[in-house]
Amino acid sequence: MMKWILAISILAVYANTILFIVSWGLKWSVLFVNWRKSRLQATTPVDKLVATRADYPGVSAGRGAAYFSVHLPTHNEPPDIVIKTIDSILASNYDDFELLVIDNNTNDPDLWMPVSDHCMEKGARLRFYHRINVANAKAGALDIALELRNRRATHVVIVDADYTVDRDFLTRASNLLAQNEYDYLQFPQSYRGQGAAGLKYELGLYFATVTRAADAANTMLLTGTLSVIAVKALRTLGGWKTSTLTEDAEIGLQLHMRGFRGRYIAQSAGAGLLPFTFFDLEKQRERWIHGNFQVLTRYFTRIMTVKKNYLLPILSQLSAWFAFLLIPMVFMLLIPLFAGYGPLSNPAAVALAIAATTIILDFVSRFVFIRLSGVGTKLTEVLDTFVVSWALAGRSSLATFTGNLPAARIFHRTNKSICDESAEVRSTTTTVVAILGAMAILQGLLMAQPTVVVAGMLSVLMLPFQWLASRRLLRYRNHFRVR
């Protein structure tokens, strides 16, 4: 029996290694595409490049060809944050838009009533709706908003509850739509507030690398906020009929497969809030991984039949947050159960070396990838970004292999309430990984396996990295507490 378990475990290590190589191959291909894109831009006359923010021909501030229905879905959000978002949208220098605030499944009137009262004071342009028993979380709320929109609306704009938008956001979107026949636009996510630069860079890494490369191949998927989508395109899809946790990526993939054209606009148009605790950061990352994994598995056959130049960018976007460290960590701990601490059979020894090397390579590759991505101009900024990335590696690895479990289909919103440090929920995943790493160090020493020792040490390192990231987030939320 133990021989069969060992054989299956060895095969799992080999299969995981293939996935690991493919995953990092996709990431390196992203950097290569961006490098080629930069080289091309460096040799292209300035007047042939995409217009800058200050140089949009066509529609000026005021009235334009597009009529925007801005949709702001909320659920259990602090009212002061939602009100700030509402006011930033209403301050737009563009005239032709409406704002629909859809509060879904918030039972506490102290959360939704202040928002409702505020909306009543702002005129007919703004409408507030409170709905209970809404299915499909955010996607369900967006479907309601789509049906309630003004029939003049040509485009839907999605803004998350914590995002304050730039005054010229809608004007810029209208200008871009007037210049080109785009069916959807995606602006990058960015974050306001002082401190936590490493976390901002780590979250922005996706846009600086993966989305940029996907845009070059015309395969950009949506990312959930600051998205502009043609109503006709959404209606063609039947609305927000999604079955995954990342409705944005699923809708983006459906739009691409239906032949609609989109564009990533690499200019900030608004800023949101970071998760206030490391636990919330982990839950957010877990939701993204679970959702994208669900999209990938549901549409895998169709994805694999797209044109070759579309395939890699789509896979890169859907697998951007995946990590493949869980199986190597477990295998390093199971080896003594199969062979004690004596000599290993050749297949087991090779698998053990591969498992340990996978962890070491992932650690090194993350740092090199961040360094080459151009995120952060200083080495300290690169290191801060890397600290956050490695601190999240344990939870990301677990989420990668649990994406199709029933529990992975529950939508967990990112908490935006500012809590005291004593009320902060502690993350246990990284602690468990660190304990497993310490056990791997001991086993590596007993078995005279230096690569296992190094891999164990790197696993343990996730715990102090998590502590550093938590300290950064504490200072970040204190910035909002004292205001």
pLDDT of residue 64: 57
Asked if residue 360 belongs to a domain, the reply is yes
Residues 334 and 226 in one domain: no
Q: For residue 380, give every residue at least 6 positions away whose Cβ sits within 8 Å of its Cβ, in sequence order, or none.
A: none
How much is the pLDDT for 51?
A: 39
Number of structural domains found in the chain: 2
In a domain, 227, yes or no: yes
For 39-65, the pLDDT digits (tens) are 776 555 534 434 344 443 444 445 558
pLDDT for 5 equals 84
298 domain residue, yes or no: no
> Residue 258 falls within a domain, yes or no?
yes
Same domain as 238, residue 177 = yes
Single out the residue in 275, 302, 333 at which a domain terminates.
Answer: 275
Token pair 């704009």 is at which residue?
Answer: 157
Q: Are residues 194 and 83 in the same domain?
A: yes
In a domain, 45, yes or no: no
10: phi then psi, degrees, rounded to nearest 5: -65, -45
Listed as ranges, residues in the chain with pLDDT below 70 are 1, 41-64, 337-343, 407-409, 412, 419-426, 481-483
Judgement on whether residues 72 and 205 belong to the same structural domain of the protein: yes
Using alpha carbons, select from 196, 192, 206, 188 the residue that is nearest to residue 388: 196
Report pLDDT digits (tens) over 344-371. Answer: 778 888 999 999 999 999 999 999 999 9
Q: Are 231 and 147 in contact (CB under 8 A)?
A: no
* pLDDT one-digit tens code per residue, 155-170: 999 999 999 999 999 9
From CA 3, how far away is CA 196, in angstroms rounded?
49
In a domain, 15, yes or no: yes
Positive or negative, the CA dihedral 195, 197, 203, 206 is: positive
344 and 408 fall within a common domain: yes
Specify whether 414 is located in the same domain as 347. yes
CA-CA-CA-CA torsion sign (142, 146, 148, 149):
positive
Of 275, 307, 340, the one marking the end of a domain is 275
CA gap 311, 329 in Å, rounded: 30
Domain that residue 438 falls in: 2-36+320-481
SS3 366: helix
Which of 239, 255, 275 is the last residue in one of the domains? Answer: 275
Write the pLDDT tens digit of every residue in 297-319. Answer: 999 999 999 888 899 999 999 99
Check residue 425 and give its pLDDT. Answer: 60
In this structure, the answer to whether residues 362 and 463 fall within a common structural domain is: yes
Mean pLDDT of the chain: 89
In this prediction, residue 301 carries a pLDDT of 94
Q: What is the CATH number of the domain that holds 245?
A: 3.90.550.10
Sheet holding 97-104, edge to edge: 126-131, 97-104, 68-74, 155-158, 227-230, 184-186, 262-264
Residue of 265, 248, 250, 267 whose CA lies nearest to 190: 267
Q: How far apart are CA 118 and CA 105, in angstroms?
A: 19
- Predicted TM-score (pTM) of the model is 0.91
Q: Does one domain contain both 73 and 19?
A: no
Residues 205 and 201: their CA atoms lie apart, in Å, by 6
Based on the fold, state whether residues 400 and 258 are members of the same structural domain. no
Q: Give a yes or no: residue 102 inside a domain.
A: yes
Asked whether residue 167 falls in the same domain as residue 20, the answer is: no
Q: Are residues 108 and 175 in the same domain?
A: yes
Distance separating alpha carbons of residues 413 and 4, to the nearest angstrom: 42
Which of these, 450, 331, 326, lies nearest to 393 by C-alpha position? 326
**Does one domain contain both 263 and 342?**
no
Cα 181 to Cα 226: distance, rounded to the nearest angstrom: 19
Residue 133: partners with Cβ closer than 8 Å, 6 or more residues away: 105
Residue 349 CB neighbour total at 10 angstroms: 15
Cβ-contact 148, 127 below 8 angstroms: yes
Per-residue pLDDT at 191: 95
Strands 184-186 and 227-230 come out as: antiparallel
Round the CA-based radius of gyration of the chain to a whole number and report it: 24
148 domain-assigned:
yes
At residue 407, the pLDDT reads 65
